[in-house]
Amino acid sequence: MFNKTVEKNGKIMRYGYTTGSCATAATKAALLMFLNQQKWDTVKINTPKGWPLDLVLHDQTFSEYEASCSVVKDAGDDPDVTNGIKIFAKVTPSDQDGISFAAGIGVGIVTSVGLSIPPGQPAINPTPREMIAQEIRAVLDSDAIKHRPDLPKGWQVELSIPQGVELAKRTFNPKLGIEGGLSIIGTTGIVEPMSEEAWKASLKLELSVLHAKGFNEIIFVPGNYGKDFSEELGLNEDVLVKTSNFIGFMLDEAERMGFDKILLIGHLGKLVKVAGGIFNTHSSVADGRMEILTAHAGILGASRDTMAKIMAAKTTDEATDIILAENLPDYFNQLAEVVKKKVTDRVYGTIDIEVVLFSKIHGFLGQSKDAEELRKRLCTH
């Protein structure tokens, strides 16, 4: 087991290693077994992070024609759908110069522009490709191998993930334009537990793919509630992007990429924070939901008693019950306008942004003035 740890929020958490590291280790071991015609049980590789890995091998087979083995992915304390799966590499000599890559079962094929790998190629990202190439070169340049007269001109590396076809359905891959399986990824070779930066990178990638496909009008939702509500509204799922809690970050990226219009659809519990200028909506960053709802009620003429009730509410749905009972004029439409101003200011007015508010209990609550028109533009029918 890989036992490097880090303390986060007072908790000791264990690092893991990427699918790219697994693929690299399996490839190196398969090459060693082919060249030496003997079984390897463990193999050492380097990672871009500078941390060496000594990984256990499984399913070793070799012959005079090819060799293969697998490595089990260990995501540490950042478990994802790939944790615990086997990643196989098969190495075959080739009469073509250099190293070529092939996708076996469960490794996806890139079908869309905008990714780091061109369409038609196996979804093996640049860093894992370079890691594999470096380890192959290191083996071939070793004193025990480099003077052998029987070395082929090149090598084919076929990566496969038997569980990848099914697991890919639980990832961004189908939406990104990667078909048939998972991607071999990782920029450092190491999985950092609960990495916010990795999460942001995956969200940014989805946005960049939409931009590369030529979409200029898109939908932002913080999470699954917003996605489900968008589907109820009949909106085009192909242009929908989840922002998670990183609404400010995603707005910044959208502004940098040059999108024209965004329809921001969110649960009141998330977007009320944005009305208060809070652009990372995670509960550990800031709250202020009841304070913002209460202040807005006061602006619209709520009584002191009503404001006290809203302030004491435990949830935004409870606060919504109070607001609706008081018949505050146009409350949620006005709140949507406040959110619109905040997000428009965030992108310096370069993107036309409209806002829709809803709750799981009450459904549609309100929207900014021109949201209806943008909703119609983004409908699938």
Domains and CATH numbers, the chain: 5-191 (3.30.2110.10), 196-377 (no CATH)
Measured in degrees and rounded to the nearest 5, phi and psi for residue 323 equal -65, -45
Identify residue 136 by its one-letter amino acid code.
I
pLDDT of 9 reads: 60
pLDDT of 229 reads: 95
What is the spatial distance between Cα 173 and Cα 333, in angstroms, rounded to a whole number?
Answer: 36
pLDDT of 1 reads: 63
- What is the DSSP secondary-structure string of 206-239? HHHHHHHTT--EEEEESSHHHHHHHHHTTB-GGG
330 Cβ contact list (under 8 Å, min separation 6):
300, 366
pLDDT in tens, 119-174: 999 999 999 999 999 999 999 999 989 999 999 999 999 999 999 999 999 887 88
Q: How many CB atoms lie within 10 A of CB 108?
A: 26
Cβ atoms of 278 and 288 within 8 Å: the answer is: yes
pLDDT of 142 reads: 95
The residues with which 8 forms a beta bridge, in sequence order, are 11
pLDDT of 295 reads: 98
pLDDT of 292 reads: 98
Per-block mean pLDDT, blocks of 10 residues, the chain (381 long): 76 91 99 98 97 98 98 88 96 97 98 88 97 98 92 97 95 87 94 78 90 96 92 94 95 98 97 97 89 97 96 91 92 98 98 96 96 94 62
Q: Which of 19, 20, 18 is nearest to 132 (CA)?
A: 20
Q: Which two tokens stand for residue 381?
A: 């029918």
- What pTM was estimated for this model as a whole? 0.69
Cβ atoms of 72 and 58 within 8 Å: the answer is: yes
pLDDT of 195 reads: 64
pLDDT of 7 reads: 79
